[in-house]
Amino acid sequence: AQSVTQLDSQVPVFEEAPVELRCNYSSSVSVYLFWYVQYPNQGLQLLLKYLSGSTLVKGINGFEAEFNKSQTSFHLRKPSVHISDTAEYFCAVSDRQTGANNLFFGTGTRLTVIP
Amino acid sequence: EAQVTQNPRYLITVTGKKLTVTCSQNMNHEYMSWYRQDPGLGLRQIYYSMNVEVTDKGDVPEGYKVSRKEKRNFPLILESPSPNQTSLYFCASSFRIRTEAFFGQGTRLTVV
């Protein structure tokens, strides 16, 4: 089974500062990678996904992530955060056979943007 | 509006009393699944279904049942709930393997 590690459980950052949320996965096979965001009392919303092709993936709300196969990482970045980015962020991985139907999630990173 | 709908949103029940959480999607998706979310553990998959009458276990299936009699519905059944099933539950659906999974709003279940 896949496993996903999000090393930082909480990340506080000042408004308009850059942020990086780290994600590492353990797999020796080809995978699909996802970042989801969860706002309070809501379901999960897809931020971006890597399926194939360019290793730099751009998503919604100004977020981007870079797939690094050699380091098995998929870190999420934003150059300038806003108060509205305060939420919990989940990295997820799936193998190519079951894809989005069978996601393995990390434990989540709570991003708090400080005014 | 395309969505995944779960009911109820909140539920408090007693140990051993059978319950069903419903999930319905209006996007004609083939794939549906159930996850539970617990603090410090992230989301873990309970069961998934790749089509009508096709279901399979996820990572934490013990104590749960599912059925997929029609494409749009994928109910989660707890035959005899126990306190360790207190959790936040999410239903998700997707059209094909390479597409994103759409999540419902969640069902917060408390078993006392």
pLDDT at A9 over 90: yes
Q: Are B43 and B57 in contact (CB under 8 A)?
A: no
Secondary structure of chain B in HEC code, one letter for each residue: CCCEEEECCEEEECCCCCEEEEEEECCCCCEEEEEEEECCCEEEEEEEEEECCEEEECCCCCCCEECCCCCCECCEEECCCCHHHCEEEEEEEECCCCCCCEECCCEEEEEC
Which of chain A's residues have a Cβ under 8 Å away from the Cβ of B90?
A: 43-44
Provide residues of B within 8 Å CB-CB of chain A.
4, 31-33, 35, 40-45, 48, 50, 58-59, 90, 92, 94, 96-101, 103-106
Q: Read off the pLDDT of residues A12-45 as tens digits, 9 standing for 90 and up.
A: 999 999 999 999 998 767 788 999 999 988 889 9
Q: For A51, which residue in chain B has the nearest alpha carbon? A: B98
pLDDT tens figures, A44-84: 999 999 988 889 999 999 999 999 989 999 999 999 999 99
Q: Does A25 touch chain B (CB under 8 A)?
A: no
Band of the pLDDT at A111, cuts 50, 70, 90?
Answer: very high
Q: Which residue of A has its CA nearest to B3?
A: A43
Tell whether A15 lies on the interface with B, counting CB pairs under 8 A.
no
From first to last of its 112 residues, chain B has per-residue pLDDT tens of: 879 999 999 999 999 999 999 999 999 999 999 999 998 898 999 999 988 999 999 999 999 999 999 999 999 999 999 999 999 999 999 887 667 889 999 999 999 9
User: Considering only CB atoms, which chain A residues are within 8 Å of B58?
Assistant: 102
